[in-house]
Amino acid sequence: MRSAASLELFFLLLVSTPLAAGCDDPTHPERRSAHTIEVVSGDGQSATAAEALGQPLVVRVLDWIGRPVPGRRVVFTVAGGGSVDPHATVTDADGLVHVTWTLGTSTADSQEVEVRFLDNGGAQGRPSAVFRARALPGPPQRITALGDSGYAGSVGMPLADSLAVRVTDGYGNPVPGAPVVWRVLSGGGGVTPETGNTGSDGVARTLWTLGPRMDSAQVAEGLAGLTLRAGFVATAGVGLGARLVKVSGDAQTGEVGTPLAEPLRVRLLLADQRPIVGAPVSWSAGEAGTFSPEVSTTDENGEASAVWTMGKPFGPVAAQAAIAGTAPVPFWATAVQLPRSIYWLEPNLHGGYHPPLLVGAANSLLDNPLGFIAHDRFNRPIAGMEVKWRVTAGSVAPVTSVTDSAGMATTRWTLGAPGDCNAYAKLPGNASEIQFWGFALTALYAGHDDGQLADAGSTIDVSVATVGTSAGAGIVDGASVRWTVLSGGGSV
């Protein structure tokens, strides 16, 4: 009688024999009884985008009771880019398949490989295994400026928006952790920070404080490595941090219609006292005059200047220098009127236009006053001008007179001793004096026509002689003589 152990062994041999025979025979139906695809190794790897993973993908095909199935065809399908080599293959004697996975070019897409059975008709069954991998960006190949192409801000002040660059690899994937160096190329400003690393999005940022130059565009750049550069351009204007201050040229005195002796000068400064270069300063005075130039540009010291030509108003006048973004700077001046054309008054005809010879009796008051009319360069009468008088012989009263609204000033001259004499008028602002010529007479003598006899109503000629001395010398030529009928009627 067989023991129980012997019966059990016999049963196992009986059961296992045909199965084993079926596995050795490729045509045996058990070869197609593959049930499961299990992942052996290669899942969860990472590699640079578009490069092969370091380890192959390995799967094992098992039957329904977990035994390896050799010769079973499987297919690998890539999702998210990349490729698998080979695409389809057959399990080896251990039911294993080894393939190489080259990742896609994008780090943003999901990288997966699905493994399916492939039947004899080429149809794919349901996926039985999935591999996942992470694509990493490659080395920096490009740096790109983000945001606007040009910026605008105020000198000496930070821009409202930070500068930003994105660093990418050869396939456009953002590269995190890439070092970026920032620097200012022109304009005199600064950046904070000067160095930094890109974030997970491949972006690095810095804050740009503009410099004090407005005469050219301000330029900054970000650098990744030695060759990758991204540039930024900003236009600077004057903001609240700047102020315009007076340097020189205030409180001058000048003649209407003429330039002041000293140019007006201002300086434009930042809050830290650095000069602002290249800023346009506008000059204006309204009716109080004109400027040359009307707009001047600040130099390396932040200074700008212009020449003020006095306008027609006289007395205290004002002008200003201004630039957008700052308070204007006022300037003051006193405009004066200086005579440019003088018209003498004839003794017997006010309003005459030539200086006559003033003749009168010695030690006597001339019949008419001395006087003249003063006009400025615009041919306007000058009122309120103080005139001082002096004479070489005799006296004048008053010795000081003031021009009236018509520009006229007068005085009375009492002649002195017989002979030539002069009077002078001195105007403020004029180095020279205005001269009047005079002659003091001793007597007027009747000529040889005195004592004639003639019919009533008839016409006769008479003559007189004027001399300057009692000795009879010094005959005067050109003296004015007034004729008067004293008795008997008739006319002269």
Give ∠ CA 290-296-299 in degrees, rounded to 5.
Answer: 145
- Percent residues over pLDDT 90 in the chain: 57
- Name the 3-class secondary structure at 295: strand
Identify each DSSP E strand in 187-294 by its residue range: 190-192, 195-197, 203-209, 218-224, 228-237, 243-248, 252-255, 264-269, 280-284, 289-292
* Residues whose CB is less than 8 angstroms from the CB of residue 113 and which lie 6 or more positions away in sequence, other chains included: 57, 76, 77, 78, 79, 84, 101, 130, 131, 133
Quick one: tokens of 397?
């009263």
More confident site: 310 or 481 = 310
Length of the chain: 492
Residues 66-119 have pLDDT tens digits of 999 999 999 999 988 899 999 999 999 999 999 999 999 999 878 999 999 887
Q: Return the closest-CA partner of residue 468 out of 363, 355, 372.
A: 363
Do residues 34 and 72 lie in contact, with contact meaning Cβ atoms separated by under 8 Å? Answer: yes
- Give the DSSP H/E element, type plus range, for residue 41: strand 34-41
Do residues 73 and 59 lie in contact, with contact meaning Cβ atoms separated by under 8 Å? Answer: no
- Please give the DSSP secondary-structure letter assigned to residue 262: S
Query: Cα 262 to chain center, whole Å?
Result: 27
Q: What is the pLDDT of residue 430?
A: 65
Query: Cα 436 to chain center, whole Å?
Result: 61
| CA–CA dist 32, 368 (Å, integer) | 149
What pTM was computed for the model? 0.64
Residues 20-77 have pLDDT tens digits of 334 444 444 444 467 899 999 999 999 999 999 999 999 999 999 999 999 999 999 9
Q: What is the pLDDT of residue 17?
A: 40
| CA–CA dist 140, 180 (Å, integer) | 11
Residues 208-243 have pLDDT tens digits of 999 999 988 899 999 999 899 999 999 999 987 899
